[in-house]
Structure 1
Amino acid sequence: MAKSHLRLLGRATLGLGESWIPLERKVAGVLAYLALEGPTPRSKLAGLLWPETHERAARNNLVQSLRRLRRAVGGYEAVRGEGTLQLAEDLEADVTRLILSTLQGKYAEAVDLEGELIGGYDYDDCPDFADWLQAEREHLSGLWREALESEAKRLEGEGEFRKALALALRLAEADPFSEEHLRRVMRLYYLRGDRGAAMSAYHHGRERLKRELGVDPLPETQALVQVIERGAVLPGAGGRLRREIPLALWQPPVLVGREQALAQIEEAWEAGKLVFVAGEPGIGKSRLLRDFASRNGSYVWMSALPGDKGTPFAFYARALREAFGESPGLRLPSWVRRELSRILPDLFPLDPLPWRDPADRSCKDLCVRARV
């Protein structure tokens, strides 16, 4: 016989075949209690959900509620028993699946079992049941977060950064004041190569903490953002992005059919001209430029990232860090160091001069005068 399904996470419904029947408030409470506590005396359920009613009347209310449920689902008995009630053996509850999946370490099965236990219903008129419900809601929410955290950690370790990030964002949405979740989001954005998005996540998180709680990020969070700002390797970074194409196809040992383009770049280079290489994605522009650069001594390779648009001077700051890394003994005038402290506070921890007008934000004077 095909199993029937009981959804208690979110809106409470009972599924039979292709049909899903919404559950009344008190019936949803009865089914939730039986799903999580197991077989329960009829008198106890009646007392929990009809506490202000005489015992006999409360038991009658319970009988009538279950009778209405049976009529609504075409005669199917979701609750069975006489003195002690229990769920039908063929009725599968999502809360049971969530508990078993997390206990067995099957976190991938648990991550989609999301939602508040019989969400949308309150039981202020049933204080003992309300206390039980609140405790169970917190318990199940904790199990769900444990599943997401464990699965995100596993995916990150295997280099599945995109999938891990999707779970990390769900965690951060569920608990927006958790700096642990914030750091995970920042780290995964950075591991995917999107430094700008990592910095944007940090700034949004910092503003939320300051606005809602009046606190600054923890030292661990600030240490992570400093690593990201420097473009450094994350301590203990685990997996690598999987490549479905062999490395030999990503970086062929010999570049064929680009002799004319290389000659044109060489000619422009010798003439002191600026070189632009344009073309459709994936035709080898980056490989062509790398081959040319390698023929002309040392070089610095910089790439724009998708998140740069949301972070002022992101590309420029990375380029300057690379340049200073190549010339660690470079001596700069004090005014240049102070200007650079605007966008490289970790390298030049000075008090920057205030912007004179919006045009200054282009830093073009700095580019010309500093000649870096």
Structure 2
Amino acid sequence: MRATGQPLLHINVLGPAELVTHAHEPVQVRQPLTRALAVRLGLARGKPVADDILIRDLWGDDDAARPLARLRVLASRLRSALGDHSGALERTPAGFSLQATPADLDAVEKALSALAPFRRSGDQAKVFSTTAAALAHWRGDPLADLDGIPFVVAERQHLESLRLELHLAWAESGLALGKYVEPELERLVGIHPLHERLVGFFAQALFRAGRHAAAIDQLHALRVRLADELGIDPAPETVALEEGLRAELTAPPKLRTSLPSATRTFVGRRKEQAELLQLIRRPGLITLLGGPGAGKTRLAREIAGRTTEAERRVAWLDLAPAQPGDDLESALAGAAGATSGDHSIGHSAELLSGALLVVDNAEHLVEQLAPIIDVLRFKATGLSILVTSQRPLRLTDEQLHRVAALTAAEASQLFCDRSGADPSPAVERICTAVDRLPLGIELAAGLTRTLSVEQIAQRIDHRLRLLVRGLRDAGPRHVSLRSALNWSYELLSPQEQVALRRLAVFAAGCTPEAATFVLAAPSAGDPIGPDEVERVLAELADRSLITSDGERIGLLETVREYALDQLRDSGEESALRDRHAAWCVELAKFGGAYGPQDQRQLLGEPELARRVRLEEPNMLAAIDWCMGDGNDPGRVSEFVAPLGWHWMSRGMMAQASEWLWASLPALPAGTVERGDALRGFAFQARSVGRYDEALHAGLECAEIQQALGNDRGLARTYHVLTLTSLGLDDVYGALDYADRAGKMARTLDLSIVLGASLNCSGVALRMLGYPAEAKQLFEEAYDIWGGVRDDEGLVLASNHLGVLAVQAGDTAEGRRRALFCLRMARGIGGLLGILDGLALLATVEAAEGNHAEAVRLLAVVEHQREELSSPIQVADEVSALSVAWTTCREALGPEADRLADQTRRQSPETLTAEILAAPA
């Protein structure tokens, strides 16, 4: 056998098996069984392994009688895979050997052997760093790619026991050092729920983070599991731990009364500082209000520091460790500097006369604190009181100062100050993702020690899992976003907790009416009744956990992500998602069916479009749910089909057609629901050029409406068939369908459908060469749409009148019509209307010889319609644009295409704003 020396190969086993050379070059061994042979020999660390042992370890006892030929074939394959290193595999009289070692396993075993002296000397920092480094060798489940190989089962158990031993040492030392180990311990307890030491460590971590009830609950649950599953009682150490934590709960709090030092520069909030410094010059009560992570404490500390510099006495009382029922008067006396046994408010008032008292983290004790502060401020002469809290004290003359998120510039400055990074779009994305909250920014900046700014930006959507390693001296509530949110959530009443997590189903806020619809369940036993929603929401707003501008209620994204986690854990996510989807159906009834005439008359097109657009993120979230985990694609049609005008105005026709197509299999034949979905699909599909599919859907829909006797639905279906026929260049078919739709619309008083049918008839007549007749129909449609305040219809009719004007050589009228279209479409956010207006203006510019401007307009329209997969539907309009392109290329030569490439990606909205801002 080769003399023992430096191994030729390293085999890593703490994850999928890896073979690498001594020079760290990978060796590809593709067949799992061949790779298993290499691993088994590598675990022998160069010593030969007998054939019968290898056969049993690779194939099991049932195959122990197999001929050795199979093993030799496997060895031959391994030798071939090793290539230049094939000499590492040898055949000896004692069996096969491989000059290789399990490098990662050796490193772990070496680390474990090094722990004993560190423990004896009490060097917990060494224990922590050594175990952390050893655990970093794991790349996943050991030998995860070798399932089914007999020896791997036992080997995995051994490797997992090593990992657990390291985790225990890591957790114990981390707790001793004050490290943030809670998330990893939570994960480990999930894997080993009966491991008493692990559960004990997790309980200690929870208790240290201020989650006292959760800590006690963990130990109680362990006691129950041990009894139910193993029939045993907890070990004495576990019992002693639980008793100790319960005893600590009743001990007096250790409140911080000295002014905390600022170890880092303060960034931003200059205006707020100046205002607060001015306010505290006078006696009074100021409460800094803000949600978790908003930076209330840091701002108060800066104000206190500046006040101290001005040689005014400052007393600091941190209530974070206190519990309801604690002796706050004694704590106040300590902050005031009382040395005698007199802890009365009167004595504290004497000591605090002329000073600034800062009371930090008061939100969980406002009921107990308020009467103390009320008495104190009237007994103390010249006393200014600054309170930080998520809730107001509700005292007379209390001045509330909301601590909002940082500005975009301040947020970027803070991140760069803490990380050393330069400002960049990635920095802006990170700050935006954490709602520009100082805590989130500080935590994200801390990650730059191990990740690049770009890597953080790529991962920041998982903010609650990512931002978990704050400064140890920041206190347990500020070591992670989740800890800060846990604190706030646990202070809520059960009813308020239910409301907060239910609000998370709204993707972009909601109206109070929508909140009532979704939050209050119809069942009698639900925690929230319809008449209680307003009060509960007011309490959440009071606690700075939701925002409200009177019209809409919102959640910061960090709060929403946390609330969604709570909703999933509560087991009611499915029911809430279904209620949210049902609310989207109600929304469609409000703004659907071509935008119902009564709503358009009541609100006006811009306001209706604004309201529906505000809810678009909610509709998209409901669509994702119904198409995915909700398994209810049929419901999607109920709010996508009626809002066809919205998806058209937003340029989302392709998506809407796909949603509706996917919903059709779930809708029974011949039903109203299927008919509505078919009409909605046909309306969207023809807009993206899927004319044949749109025609078949429209015809099936017409059959359903006729069979059901639904004349209103049939009139609308004829209109959709009119549009499809125009796209198919079937002008006479379009005239026929438009005539049917128009006659029914007049009888049924469907003004919007009537205007649409007249407009389409005008397009058909224009294509057939009857401009005067077409103009008459466009003007009649314009008047009808104006009467019902249908701005989208006005854009359509005006655009077609402009096309007629340009065809007649009246470019001045064409320009006037084009600018009108752009102004109206911009007002309602109608992307297709904007594109139609830009296209009309392009033909005007080309006809008047403004070729460079025409090219810019043509390029933007062409590119945007390609992006939307939405070709222009009408043949004579396509021809007009083609002529404009030809005119420009003849005038400009190659410069036309260069200019088009340079300008085609400009935003249509930006271009429109520029055109409308230009002098007439």
* Contact 1:42–1:85, Cα closer than 8 Å, also in 2: yes
Corresponding residue for 1:308? 487
Give how far 1:68 is off: 1.5
Corresponding residue for 1:9? 14
Give how far 1:43 is off: 4.2
Give how far 1:6 is off: 1.5
Give how far 1:147 is off: 1.3
Q: 2:137 aligns with which of 101, 107, 113?
A: 113
CA–CA separation in structure 2 for the residues paired with 1:311 and 1:134? 43
Corresponding position: 1:261 with 2:271: no
Give how far 1:231 is off: 7.3
Give how far 1:156 is off: 2.8
**Secondary structure, counterpart of 1:154 in structure 2:** helix
Corresponding position: 1:171 with 2:181: no
CA–CA separation in structure 2 for the residues paired with 1:22 and 1:225? 53
Q: 2:104 aligns with which of 94, 98, 110?
A: 94
* Contact 2:182–2:202, Cα closer than 8 Å, also in 1: yes
- Listed one character per residue, the Cα deviations across residues 67-102 of structure 1 (whole Å, up to 9, x for unaligned) are 22232343433533423333314x543233322321
**Secondary structure, counterpart of 1:263 in structure 2:** coil
Change (3 A) 1:14 1:189: same
Tell me the amino acid that sits aligned with residue 198 of structure 2.
H
* Contact 2:111–2:134, Cα closer than 8 Å, also in 1: yes
Change (3 A) 1:98 1:292: closer
Corresponding position: 1:76 with 2:53: no
- Listed one character per residue, the Cα deviations across residues 112-155 of structure 1 (whole Å, up to 9, x for unaligned) are 2335442354447xxxxx3x544433232222111121122223
CA–CA separation in structure 1 for the residues paired with 2:198 and 2:252? 21
- Listed one character per residue, the Cα deviations across residues 283-311 of structure 1 (whole Å, up to 9, x for unaligned) are 54147576387568279754564122332
* Contact 2:107–2:134, Cα closer than 8 Å, also in 1: yes
Once the two structures are superposed, the pairs formed by residues 268-307 of structure 1 within 5 Å of their partners are 268-269=284-285, 275-277=286-288, 281=295, 284-286=299-301, 288=303, 291=315, 297=348, 302-303=361-362, 305=477, 306=484, 307=486
Q: 1:226 aligns with which of 240, 246, 259?
A: 246
Please state which structure has a larger fraction of its residues in helix: 2
* Contact 2:13–2:39, Cα closer than 8 Å, also in 1: yes
CA–CA separation in structure 1 for the residues paired with 2:252 and 2:145? 46
Change (3 A) 1:92 1:182: closer
CA–CA separation in structure 2 for the residues paired with 1:152 and 1:357? 41
Q: 1:154 aligns with which of 148, 169, 173?
A: 173
Q: 1:66 aligns with which of 65, 71, 75?
A: 75
Change (3 A) 1:69 1:21: same
Change (3 A) 1:287 1:3: farther
Corresponding residue for 2:539? none
TM-score (norm 1): 0.58
Corresponding residue for 2:397? none
TM-score (norm 2): 0.27
Change (3 A) 1:82 1:230: same
Tell me the amino acid that sits aligned with residue 66 of structure 1.
A
- Listed one character per residue, the Cα deviations across residues 182-237 of structure 1 (whole Å, up to 9, x for unaligned) are 2312322443xx313x6446547756875897479864464355356557679xxx
Tell me the amino acid that sits aligned with residue 14 of structure 1.
L
CA–CA separation in structure 2 for the residues paired with 1:27 and 1:174? 31
CA–CA separation in structure 1 for the residues paired with 2:252 and 2:26? 54
Tell me the amino acid that sits aligned with residue 308 of structure 1.
W
Once the two structures are superposed, the pairs formed by residues 329-348 of structure 1 within 5 Å of their partners are none
Corresponding position: 1:195 with 2:210: yes
Name the larger-Rg structure: 2
Change (3 A) 1:69 1:12: same
Tell me the amino acid that sits aligned with residue 15 of structure 1.
V
**Secondary structure, counterpart of 2:163 in structure 1:** helix
Deviates more, 1:92-101 or 1:278-287: 278-287
* Contact 1:35–1:96, Cα closer than 8 Å, also in 2: no
Change (3 A) 1:152 1:80: farther
CA–CA separation in structure 2 for the residues paired with 1:225 and 1:284? 33
Q: 1:185 aligns with which of 202, 208, 223?
A: 202
Corresponding residue for 2:37? 30
**Secondary structure, counterpart of 2:19 in structure 1:** strand
Structure 2 residue ranges without an equivalent (≥5): 1-5, 116-129, 255-259, 265-272, 305-313, 318-334, 337-344, 350-356, 364-476, 478-483, 494-526, 537-920
Give how far 1:3 is off: 6.4
Calculate the aligned-residue CA RMSD, in Å.
4.7
**Secondary structure, counterpart of 1:49 in structure 2:** helix
Corresponding residue for 1:370? none
**Number of aligned residue pairs:** 287
Q: 1:144 aligns with which of 159, 163, 166?
A: 163
* Contact 1:182–1:202, Cα closer than 8 Å, also in 2: no
CA–CA separation in structure 2 for the residues paired with 1:121 and 1:212? 33
* Contact 2:171–2:201, Cα closer than 8 Å, also in 1: no
* Contact 2:20–2:26, Cα closer than 8 Å, also in 1: yes
Change (3 A) 1:169 1:5: farther
**Secondary structure, counterpart of 2:15 in structure 1:** coil
**Secondary structure, counterpart of 1:104 in structure 2:** helix
- Listed one character per residue, the Cα deviations across residues 233-274 of structure 1 (whole Å, up to 9, x for unaligned) are 79xxxxxxxxxxxx75459xxxx997633234x2x34xxxxx
**Secondary structure, counterpart of 1:46 in structure 2:** helix
Change (3 A) 1:23 1:166: farther
* Contact 2:50–2:96, Cα closer than 8 Å, also in 1: yes
* Contact 2:11–2:103, Cα closer than 8 Å, also in 1: yes
* Contact 2:10–2:20, Cα closer than 8 Å, also in 1: yes
Q: Percent same amino acid among aligned pairs?
A: 16
* Contact 1:200–1:310, Cα closer than 8 Å, also in 2: no
Tell me the amino acid that sits aligned with residue 44 of structure 1.
I
Structure 1 residue ranges without an equivalent (≥5): 125-129, 235-246, 270-274, 315-355, 363-372
